[in-house]
Amino acid sequence: MSDRFNLPPNWQDMFGQFVREGQNWLGKIESSMNSTMPRPEQVEIEEEEEGEGDTPPKARKHTSTPYTGQRWEYKVAYVNFKGQISAEGEQLLIGRGERRSTFVRKFLDELGAEGWELSGVSPLGVSENSYFVFKRPATRAAEPIERKVEAKEEPTTEDDVL
């Protein structure tokens, strides 16, 4: 610490120790809150009952009851209106003399015949490229998604705290 506050050296040491202890204390509070609070994916909002009016919804822990409603599967296609479509490793190129709109419509018709419904288009900037997102009722079990969970490391030395 510099002498910019014109404190005697022993006061500077005390102030530094005070700051380190405060940071340690805040870190302990944060980790205790993280261990007692449910993760966002474990929290559901209860439906508001009639007559409650301005009462805020209450959070409750997620139950392990499996979801039994409609399940969906999705397909994402990269569409370049200049004549290229790529979907899940398959690449289609426009035919000689074929109109761009006809090329894309044929692709959409094929997917529609397979039960896919266009549910969203995400244009890529000002280019003529877009991602098309399709969905249909699930016909197979969903493939598990590998999710990475990063463990938060606790500081081990005073230098890690600062």
Give the start-to-end residue ranges of the domains of the chain.
Answer: 9-39, 72-137
Give which of 86, 125, 124 is closest to 104, Cα–Cα.
Answer: 86
Reported as a single tens digit per residue, the pLDDT across 95-120 is 999 998 899 999 999 999 999 999 99
Say yes or no to pLDDT of 50 above 60: no
CATH 3.30.1410 fits 72-137, yes or no: yes
- Name the pTM for this structure: 0.48
pLDDT at residue 69, as a whole number = 83
Q: Which two tokens stand for residue 34?
A: 């993280």
Distance CA 107, CA 92 (A): 9
Distance CA 114, CA 87 (A): 14
Distance CA 82, CA 105 (A): 13
Say yes or no to pLDDT of 135 above 90: yes
What is the mean predicted confidence (pLDDT) over 45-49? 53
In which band, very low, low, confident or very high, does the pLDDT at 76 lie, cut at 50, 70 and 90? very high
In which band, very low, low, confident or very high, does the pLDDT at 53 lie, cut at 50, 70 and 90? low
